[in-house]
A = this chain, B = another copy of it.
Amino acid sequence: MKIGIVGLGLIGGSMAIDLKRKGFADEITGVESDSVNAAAALKIGLVDRILPLKECVDVSDMIILAVPVGAAVRMLPEILDMFKAEENAAGVCRRTVIDVCSTKEQLAKTAHYHPMRTHYVATHPMAGTEYSGPWAAMPGLFDGRACIICNQEESSPASVRLVEKMYDVLNMRPIYMNASSHDVHTAYVSHISHITSFALALTVLDKEKNEKHIFDLASGGFSSTVRLAKSNADMWVPIFSQNRENLLKVIDTYIDKINAFRRAIDEFDEPGIRSLIEDANRIKRIIR
C-alpha cells in the first residue's frame, strides 16, 4: 500500500512510523509546507520522500490529511478535485482520502456535495500529546485508543473497509458517530480541557511573577493539570473556531461550576464544598 501523508507533525508523523513498522505501508510520501519540518521528517526517516501535493496524490493509494483543521477544510476539496480529474481520464479512481482532525462538522459539510465524496472517510484518532512537529512523532501513540469514524454512510464501503483495516493495524477501537454528535462530545470531553489548562497557565503566569516559585512549588498535580497549556496554537485556534457553538455552551456550564466553588468557599460553606468535591469524585468510576 502506498500512503501519502499531508502534514508531518505529531499525528501524521506517528502514523507514518507505525504504518511502516507494521507493514501496512510499503512506501510513504510526505507533503509538508514548512521546510524545516520537511527536512526533519526526512532526516528522522518518517517518510521516504517529500513531494508537492498533486504529485503525492498521483502516487498514493490512500492520502492522510494530518494538517490543522483550517487547512484541512481548504485542502480536502482540492484533493477530491484531483480524484475527479483523474477519474475523467481513466474512468475510475481507487484512491481514498481521510482526515484525522479534531472537529468534523465543517469538513463533513465541505465534502458533502462533492461528486467524489464517497472516496473520503472522516476519522478522528483520539490520541496525542502536548508536543508538536515531526520530532514529537512516536511509535505506539495510537495503541489501544479509540478512533471515531464519522458519517461513514457517505463513504464507499471499500474506502471504509480500507480505513478500518488501517486503524486495526494501529490497534485502535473504531467508534461510529455522525459529525455533529462528534463535535458536541469532543467539546465536552476534549476541547474544554484545553481551555481550562490554557486559562490555568495564564492565571499562574499572571499572579506569580517569580518563575522560580512556580518551578519550585509545582507539584505533580499542577504539572499534569497545566500540561495541555503547552499545546500548539496552529492546531487549536481552528478547532476552537470551528467548534464555537458547542464550546460556548460547555464554557458556560464550566463557569457555573467554578462559580459554585467560589460561592461555597466565600460563604464558608464546608458542607457545600464537600458535596461539590464528592460529586466530582464520580469521575473515578469512569476514568481510571
Contact = CB atoms under 8 A, between A and B. Distances in A.
Copies of this protein in the assembly total 2
B251 A255 contact: no
Main SS class of interface, A: helix
A187 to B, nearest CB: 8
Interface string A262-277: 1001101010011011
Contact of A248 (B231, B241, B262): B262
A154 to B, nearest CB: 22
Contact of A286 (B207, B214, B250): B214
Interface string A227-258: 11111010011101100100111111111011
A33 interface: no
B230 A284 contact: yes
User: Which size bracket describes the interface of A in this complex?
Assistant: 35 or more
Interface string A171-213: 0010100000000011011101111111111111111100101
Nearest to A215: B286
A221 B190 contact: yes
Contacts of A193: 200, 221-222, 225-226
A268 B244 contact: yes
A189 B214 contact: yes
